[in-house]
Structure 1
């Protein structure tokens, strides 16, 4: 009995230490990203992903950091490498959590970044895939604010391109803003981004 209790205590300590290391690593990666050091943040997230092979979050953030940089960079030559790294991490995350709405949004964002990079080549090829991903995400998590907002933002871009009415998308962005206001992430490290962008888009809608 004494050996069994000792085993449980050791197991509990190991679990607590692993959790502490995970939390410390994630906090460090977020801090680097906040300091506008995306490459360094991505590298830390990658190391955490290697140490946490059953946790989709670190790989998700590798994908998110690199996709965000692909949208931001003024150097178009950097985009393919950024999106290749994002896709590699995304594939790992999807193997862990294939029906996760946040990951479906992430994949849609990667495709959208490719469309933005080369609309003539990738627009027709990837737009249908993006719509399919958002449709699946909406079935899984219809009240997830990122699902609602990112779908509306993508639809708005397509509507503006073709000269269609964007009012329905503005209504969805307004709904997303309400959902963001009441959203509670599962943990401090779960996705919780998008509210500022939704408010900005809503203000543009109301002009």
Structure 2
């Protein structure tokens, strides 16, 4: 009996120690990211992902940093390098957490980075995939404000491209903003989007 208790205590102690290391690493990575040390943050998230192979968030954040850093690039080789790395880590995150709406909309954002770089080259193949991703994510998480906002923004972009009004999607942005106000999330979970929703709604009001 004593051996069993000792083994249980050792297991619990190891789990607490492991969680402590995870927390320390994640906090440091977010600090680096907040200080705009994106490469260092990405590298630290990668090390955490390799050490914590049951956690999808470190891989998700590696991908996020690479995707965001690809917007505005003029060199296609650099773009491909960043987005290839992002895709590798998104795939890891998907393998840990399948059917995750946060990962789905990040995949759509990755596709959008390609489209933003060269709409003629990538638009035909990736636009349809994005529509599917946003619709599937919305079915899985109809009250997730990032999903609602992402889909609304994508729909607005599509409407502009085809010369159609974007007003119908303003109500979806309003809905997303209301949900942002109520949102309570686990530690390290994606929390972005509220400021973006406010900015889009401001534009909606100006266009009325």
Task: Verify same fold: TM over 0.5.
Answer: yes
Deviation of the 1:72 alpha carbon: 4.9
Aligned to 1:201: 200
Which residue of the partner structure matches residue 23 of structure 1? 23
1:75, distance to aligned residue in structure 2 (A) = 5.4
Cα root mean square deviation, aligned: 1.2
Superposed CA deviations along residues 51-71 of structure 1, whole A, max 9, x for unmatched, are: 111111111111111111112
- 2:44 counterpart of 1:50: no
> Residues 174-185 of structure 1 correspond to what in structure 2 (within 5 A)?
174-185=174-185
Gaps of 5+ in 2: none
Indicate conservation of the 8 Å contact 2:72/2:117, yes or no: no
TM-score by length of 2: 0.96
Moved over 3 A (4+): 72-77
Q: Does 1:96 align with 2:135?
A: no
- Report the CA distance shift for 1:118/1:74 in structure 2 as closer, same or farther (over 3 A): closer
Normalising to structure 1: TM-score of the pair? 0.96
Aligned pairs for 1:28-47 (under 5 A) are 28-47=28-47
| Structure 1 residue aligned with 2:142 | 142
Give the paired residue count.
206
**Following TM superposition, by how much is the alpha carbon of 1:4 offset from its aligned partner in structure 2, in angstroms?**
1.1
- Equivalent residues in 2 for 1:63-142, closer than 5 Å: 63-73=63-73, 77-142=77-142
CA distance, structure 1, for counterparts of residue 183 and residue 175 of structure 2: 12
